[in-house]
Chain A
């Protein structure tokens, strides 16, 4: 039986992966420094081991990788505004941290290293859909640090033959995404505000678009990519492949909740991009990936979770 390491396993996306792996009966090890990850996110399943540690600490990452066959590297400082405030910590956790994970994974001789990449590496190149071959042009330190992680994944594939795969996630949402911080993703913030009966703040004109992707689809893509026959260094978009404006998103959420609130407008955020939609042809072709949820379904499930969590 193989053992999988999930860095950032107590975080939003990481914990869903841990749950899915545990449900398949795999042995799972979680590596998390619990700065934003939470213990209550972790399933109480047998075979889930937890190591508390920081990606910036190479010795700790090495320890976590010992005896591991698969690495899902989800650990990161996952916030654009936070990265603008503190580019150095962002690069240390996301850039250097990914290098540490790669070094440890190579020493452990893993069969696959999956890196949680980000659509932010495309920057604000107006061409749509975003295709994997487009140039790296991130406009925030967060996006740059994710691009650095990718560069290391590809360099390791080439130099050492490390079987790396980069999955570029597009605006992931779902249960357990934290909504109570200015660093949170837009859906989590909207849900938090709507459920509290507070005013929702839309930054910019609301016409900016995103390819909102339900976390279950991200988990599915990871599980497929863990076992698919892929060239080391392969880069794949993981997304729903559909463009939704922030304004339309807000309206759908309001409708699901039967709320009547009007949003408040705020200036656009530094480092934010204007439009986004992924081409998922490559993931379809190489993984047989197919996004399963409609935006409405994903939102309904997410809102149900926030409602439950608020109790």
Chain B
């Protein structure tokens, strides 16, 4: 049995990773600040199942708090860290970059500082946004990634670079995982698919930024979880992996598909493109395939159907619970 720290363990991706680790017999410590970027009640629900498991511990602390991390590492003997805690979102990072540096930049250093004396595998949740705005697809890990299109992207690239120095100087085995637009059950409410589904369900107009031709590589959360566990198990040296779905879907097509999955016709409201938006993302997952055996298995049709099933259940529960 291994003991794994998952920062951001109550979040969308983190809570799925915790459950998968528990399911295979690992001990899991989820570290999460339950911050109010979105309704923290959602995170409470994310951890409900895991909390029933005796091999699970939930720590409600913040990675901005070096003392809290120090205490935790004194109490626990971790075998690995999956660092997913972050302020998410491209557009909000444009409004308040300083908060993103505090959590994603400095917060990552605070976590890494715990590993310098006792190096253990460090798996870092990075982002496809580090590739910036470009037209050439697919994106490969050896790209320079020097021109982020948002402060959020800059902080994620910063995390990769800072982790590299801990690898070089202190021998921390590191895998940086560049997640490509993750969706699925528990997806954050402000993310495109979840937001669009809510608006379509309620008969509200769906804002479409630009002409609908921007394309994204959507990745179902279950694929992300298998990639993350594989990276954790094969963590050695310093490696960067794209974890994507390898298929691009245009924004207009996505909205249409969400409508189909819900059985409702979306009303589209055109809006100008937002700063920070990039025209396209598309992962080349050759490296993750070869080294990790990563193979995205959930196509967008199935993923959206499964998302919508969760979305409707979640709405019922929330309404039922008076939330």
Contacts and interface: CB of A to CB of B under 8 A. Distances in A.
A233 B147 contact: yes
B75 to A, nearest CB: 21
Q: Select the residue from B158, B161, B168 with max chain A CB neighbours within 10 A.
A: B161
B110 interface: yes
B98 A58 contact: yes
Interface string A135-165: 1111111011001101110110011100000
Nearest to A153: B154
Interface in B154-171: 154, 157-158, 161-162, 164-166, 168-169
B165 A87 contact: yes
A135 B154 CA distance: 15
Contacts of A133: 144
A84 interface: yes
B168 A139 contact: yes
Looking at A95, A96, A135, A140, which has the most chain B CB atoms within 10 Å of its CB? A95
A103 interface: yes
Interface in A64-102: 84, 87-88, 91-92, 95-96, 99-100
B165 A138 contact: yes
Interface residues of A, number: 35
A285 interface: no
B98 A88 contact: no
Nearest to B275: A159
A50 to B, nearest CB: 25
A271 interface: yes
A270 interface: yes
Nearest to A143: B165
Nearest to A146: B161
B142 to A, nearest CB: 8
Given A138-B165, A144-B165, A154 B97 contact: no
Nearest to A139: B168
Contacts of B148: 151, 154-155, 158
B169 A271 contact: yes
Residue of A84, A134, A136, A158 with most chain B CB atoms under a 10 A cut-off: A158
A135 B161 contact: no
Contact of B105 (A91, A140, A159): A91
A58 B102 CA distance: 12
Nearest to A270: B169
B153 interface: yes
Contacts of A150: 146
B105 A155 contact: no
B276 interface: yes
Interface in B38-60: none
A58 B96 CA distance: 12
B254 interface: no
B85 to A, nearest CB: 16
A141 B150 contact: no
A87 B113 contact: yes
Nearest to A84: B169
Contacts of B110: 88
B157 A151 contact: yes
Contacts of A160: 275
Given A140-B165, A154-B146, A233-B147, A159 B94 contact: yes
Contact of B158 (A84, A87, A148, A158): A148
Contacts of B182: none
Contacts of A100: 98
Contacts of B184: none
B66 interface: yes
B279 to A, nearest CB: 13
Contact of B146 (A136, A140, A271): A136
Contacts of B166: 87
Contacts of A152: 97, 151, 154
Contact of B113 (A88, A139, A144): A88
B98 A151 contact: no
Given A141-B165, A151-B158, A158 B94 contact: no
B192 interface: no
B109 interface: yes
Contact of A151 (B66, B106, B154, B275): B154
A148 B109 contact: no
Contacts of A158: 132-133, 147-149
Interface string B77-114: 00000000000000000100110011001100110110
B33 to A, nearest CB: 18
Given A95-B101, A152-B154, A144 B161 contact: yes
A270 B169 CA distance: 7
Interface of B: 66, 94, 97-98, 101-102, 105-106, 109-110, 112-113, 132-133, 142, 144-151, 153-154, 157-158, 161-162, 164-166, 168-169, 275-276
* 8 A-B pairs with the lowest CB-CB distances in the bound complex, closest first: A151-B154, A148-B158, A155-B154, A155-B148, A144-B161, A139-B168, A135-B144, A144-B165
Given A92-B106, A137-B164, A155-B148, 9 more contacts: A96-B98, A103-B98, A135-B145, A139-B164, A141-B109, A152-B97, A154-B146, A158-B132, A159-B149
